[in-house]
Structure 1
Amino acid sequence: MNTILNLAWKSVRNRKATAILTILTVAISVILLMGVERIRTQAKSSFANTISSTDLIVGGRSGQVNLLLYSVFRIGNATNNIDWKSYQEFAHNPAVKWTIPISLGDSHKGFRVMGTNHNYFEHFRYGQKQPLSFSQGHEFKGLFQTVIGSDVAKSLGYHVGSKIIIAHGISDVAFSRHDKLPFEVVGILAPTGTPVDKTVHVSLEAIEAIHVGWESGAHLGNTPSADQLLKRDFTPNQITAMLIGLKSKIQTFALQRQINTYPKEPLSAIIPGVALQELWGMMSVAEQALMAVSVFVVISGLLGMLSSLLTSLQERRREMAILRAMGARPKHVFSLLVLEASALTSVGILVGVIGLYALLGAVHPLIQHHYGIKVAMTGITSHEWMLIGFVQLAGILIGFIPAFRAYRQSLSDGMTIRI
C-alpha cells in the first residue's frame, strides 16, 4: 500500500500544473458550496436573534411578514398607524407585562430614526434574551437628545456630544431636513449584530415636536424654536407599532385574537416566531436555487477533474504498461488512479475550507455593515461536514472511471501500446 501511495504522490508531482488547476477547481467549488450554506444559516440565525422575549408585535392591519419587516428589521413602511388611545388600552391590559411603543418614518443619512420611550432600553431583548447596553453615555432624557446604534456611530464618526439633523421621511434631502432642531447624541449602544446598530433612537415626544408645522410630508409653516417647543406637551397621537411582553405565554393567543378583532380600529397582532417561519417559507425558493447553483458548480469541478484524469491517462498508458511489466497487478493500477483522484479532491477540499475562512474573515465586516448579517467565524458544523463528505465521496467515485479504464487497458496493452 505504501508503494501505491508513493507512486500516486510522484505521479501527481510530475503533473504539477494539471494537479494545481484541478485542486483550484475543487477548492472554488467547495468555497461556493460551503459559503452559500454558511451565509444561509447565519442569515437565518441573525434574523432569529434580532428579537427575543417579545410575545406579540402589533401594528396597523397588514400581512404578518410586512409588519415584522418594518417593525423589527426597519425594512419597508407601515400601511397604517395605531391610535395612542388604543396603545394605552392594550398597555394596561391585565395580561400585558410590558409594552414598547415604536414610531417610524424619519431618517438620518440613510439610517432609520425610531421614536420610543424608556421601556425600549429596559425591556427590549435580542439574541439569547440579551438586554441592550451602552458603550458610551446613557439613554435620552431631554426632548432633543438621541441614542444611536454602534453602526451609525462608526459609519458617521459620531460620539457623545455630536449634533445631528433628522430628515422627514426615508430620503435625506435638504428640503426635508428638520435643520432648525438639531439633536445631541447622549448615548451610543454596544454592538448587537441586529438592526438596532443601524437605528437612531429618539423619544416619542421628539417625533411629535419636530413635525410641528408639517402636514402630509410638506413643511407648511414656521418651525418654532427648541426653547418654545420644550414648553409644550407632545403626547403622541399615533404610533407605528408596539412590542408586547405578556405575564404568561398561555395568554398569547387570547390577546392576539382580541387585538385582531379590536372594534375601534383595524389592527394586526403577530407572533414573531410564526412570522419568521412564513418569511423563511417565502425565501425557500431562493435558498434552493442558490444551493442548486452551488451543487452544479461542484459537479462541474469534479467533471473537470475527470476530464483531466482521462486526458492524462491516454498519455500514461506506457507508464501503466511498465508498471505491469514490473509486477504491478491490475488492482494496483486501479488503486493508483483512485488514490490520485481521492488525493486531489482532499487537497482541493482543504484549500477550499482555508480559502472560505480567509474570505469570510475579509468580507464579514462588509456583510454585517451592508446587510446586517453577522457571519460568525465558527467551526465546521455537522451539516458542513456532511457536504464535505459528499464532495470527497464524489471525488472518489469520479476516480473509478479512469481507474477502470486504466485497469482494462493494462490487461490488454502489455508492452505494445496501440494509440
Structure 2
Amino acid sequence: MNEVFSGRLAIVGMGYIGLPTAVVLATRGIDVIGVDINPATVAAVSRGEVPFVEPDLAVAVSGAVAMGRLSATSEMPEADAFIIAVPTPFNGDRTANLSYVQAAAEQIAPKLRSGNIVVLESTSPPGTTEKIAEWIGALRPDLKMPHDGETGADIFVAHCPERVLPGRIMIEMITNDRVVGGLTKRCAERAASIYRVFAQGEILLTDAASAEMAKLVENAYRDVNIAFANEISLITESLHIDVWEVIRLANRHPRVNILSPGPGVGGHCIPVDPWFIVAAAPKLSPLIRTAREVNDRRPHHVAEQVAEKAKRFREPTIACLGLTFKANVDDVRESPAIEVVGLIAEALPNVDILLADPYVDSLPSMLSGYSNLRMEGAYQAVERADIVVLLVEHEPFKAIRNTRLGGKVVYDTRGAWR
C-alpha cells in the first residue's frame, strides 16, 4: 500500500511555487510552516494574504491560515519533512547559481532528526540533489545520508520538480503528473508520500538525476520550438510575408504544431533551464545553445524595429503595452517585454515612452533608471501614441478596437490584433 505523509512540514521559499504547495497541503490537513527570508512575505502570509497575483490562491491562503494549518516564519522550524522551493538563477557564465539551495540545506541541517524527508523542488542541474545530501552530511555527521544501493539511511533526500504554468498553478499543482526522483528507491517512496496528499495525477518514481534532467529537458524542448517560430518570423519578415498566416497554414498539417513567435522568452524557467543542460555538456548541446541564442536575441530585434519605425516621426510618442513575461499574470521575472522597453528607452532617450499593464501598478525597478518612461492607462497610452507596440497579449489589450489604432504605426509582436 502506498504511504501518505501525515506529519509536520516546512517549505523553504514562499514564492510562486512554495506558497501554492504550502496551501494545497495545508488545506488537506497537513500542518505547514512557510519559511522565507523576506519579512514582508512572512507578514503577508501570516495575515492570510498573498504577496503576488495567482488565480484562486488568495482565497486558499486565507482559508489555510484561518484553519490554523498554515503559518509563516523567517526562522527554520523543526519538522518531519522539508521542501526547498528557492530560486536557482544562473551565474554570469550561465552556470547554475546554487547558493540559495545550499543556504536552505544548511539551515535545515541543524533541525533534522532521523526519519526526516528533504525534497528539492527548485529546478536544478543533475547532481544538485546529491549535493544537498553532501552539504547536510558535512554539518550532521551523526546522521547517515542516503547513497545509491545503501540501506538504513537516517534522512531521505529526493527531487520533485514543479511542472505548473503561472495563471493555472492552483489547478495544475493538483492535476499534473509528478516526477519524484530519490537518491535511493526508498528516498523516492518517502518523498512521494508528501505528494500523495494532494496529487490527482500519476506520481512517477525515478532516480534524482533523471528527475533533475527531465525538468530541464521539458523546458529546453519548449525553448527550441519557440526559437523555431521566432526564426521563421525573422525569415518571413525579410521576405515581406505574414508569419501568422504562414504558421496558420502550416499547422493544418496533421503532424505540425508550430508555436507562436513573440518578443522573446520569459519567466523563471525557460530562459534559464536550457543553460543548465548546456553547462553540463557544452560540446554535445549545439541545438539547445542556438535556440537560447535565437530567443535571447529576439528582444533586441524588436527594439531595433521600433527604433526604426520612430524615424518616421519628428517627435514620436511610443506606447508599449505589457510588462509581464506572459499574459494575464503579474510575474515580471525574466520578462522579454521589460528588456524590450529598456532597449527602446536606451536607443531613444529623448522619446516619450508610455507603459501600460493592468497587472503592474508601478514602474518595475529594472526600468527605474530611464527618465523617458512613464506608466499610463492602456487607452490613454494608445490615444496619445504615434507608435503602439503590443508586447503581452493581456485580455484587456485584446479588447482595444481597431478604430483606436487607426492612423498609428502598430507593431503587434503577439499577433493578437490580426
Which is bigger in relative contact order (C-alpha 8 A, separation at least 6)?
1
Q: Flag the structure with larger Rg.
A: 1
Structure with bigger helix share is 1
* TM-score of the two chains, using structure 2 as the length reference: 0.27
* TM-score of the two chains, using structure 1 as the length reference: 0.27
